[in-house]
């Protein structure tokens, strides 16, 4: 696996959204000498949606890509927003395949200063159930929550969106929200890369200390900040 730094005059592939400064770079991949810096969304219908620029030109416009100049071959880097830290992933994903073979699913974690979240990979392909995602809690807590819920799915339970549930907390409800296709493409590129397409997702939405949810006007601003709602609010709200 090579870790040679990319040459400044190396041509790299970028999508037109990045070229026109319409969207930030949220996904970078290196396969042999094929480098791509993309917005991580799927609305690129044909070859006209991409262009080639020199790496030094790209780095002048987007200085943070310098952090990826020595990305190893066969790896990718992803982040949730332009201000999040990069998460590096092996494109061969041996750890994902091993987790799915061992546990029936894998939990991926994206951790940044402004936004952190975790999501499953494996429930859709192996169990016919939407993948799960949760935002804004501590890393261990999010992993534990998803492992618990994935265990329920593996035992045969289907988690249904729209109704309050006590699957997670004994003394508070959570909700399952259907994630929009565009948000799934933006926030969960590793799932898309693993499957070859973007699977369906349910977001596990938790309440603040006053038992308020993000769609409620009296919910805390901090809870709404760290837990963006990725789909329509449930019909059954209090």
* DSSP secondary structure string for all residues of 21-87: TSS---EEEEETTEEEEE-S-S---SGGGEEEEEHHHHHHH-GGGGGGTTPPTTEEEE-SSTTSPPE
Q: Is residue 164 pLDDT above 70, yes or no?
A: yes
Q: What is the pLDDT of residue 110?
A: 85
Q: Can you tell me which residue has the tokens 């192996």?
A: 126
Q: Hey, what are 156's tokens? A: 């045969």
- Summarize the confidence of residues 135-153 as an average pLDDT: 95
| Residue 4 burial (CB count, 10 A) | 10
Over residues 179-222, the pLDDT tens digits come to: 998 888 888 877 877 887 889 999 999 999 999 999 999 999 99
Distance separating alpha carbons of residues 135 and 206, to the nearest angstrom: 9
Instruction: List, for residues 8-32, the tens digit of each pLDDT value.
Output: 899 999 999 999 999 999 999 987 6
Instruction: Give the pLDDT confidence score for residue 2 in this predicted structure.
Output: 41
- What was the pLDDT predicted at 4? 67
Residue 46: strand pairing partners: none
């Amino acid at each position: 696996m090579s870790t040679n730094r990319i040459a400044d005059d190396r041509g790299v592939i970028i999508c037109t959204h990045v070229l026109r400064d319409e969207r930030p770079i949220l996904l970078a991949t290196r396969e042999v000498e094929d480098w791509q810096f993309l917005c991580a969304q799927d609305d690129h219908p044909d070859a006209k949606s991409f262009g080639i620029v020199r790496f030094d030109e790209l780095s002048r416009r987007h200085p943070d890509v310098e952090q990826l100049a020595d990305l190893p071959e066969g790896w990718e880097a992803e982040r949730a927003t332009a201000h999040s830290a990069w998460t590096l992933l092996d494109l061969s994903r041996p750890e994902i395949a091993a987790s799915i073979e061992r546990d029936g699913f894998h939990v991926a974690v994206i951790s940044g200063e402004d936004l952190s979240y975790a999501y499953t990979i494996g429930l859709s392909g192996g169990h016919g159930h939407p993948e799960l995602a949760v935002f804004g809690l501590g890393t261990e807590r999010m992993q534990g929550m998803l492992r618990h819920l994935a265990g329920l799915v593996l035992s045969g339970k289907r988690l249904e969106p729209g109704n309050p549930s006590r699957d997670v907390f004994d003394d508070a409800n959570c909700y399952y929200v259907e994630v929009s296709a565009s948000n799934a493409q933006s926030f969960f590129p590793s799932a898309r890369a693993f499957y070859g397409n973007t699977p369906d997702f349910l977001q596990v939405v938790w309440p603040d200390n006053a038992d308020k949810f993000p769609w409620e006007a009296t919910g805390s601003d901090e809870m709404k900040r760290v837990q963006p709602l990725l789909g329509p609010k449930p019909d059954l709200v209090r």
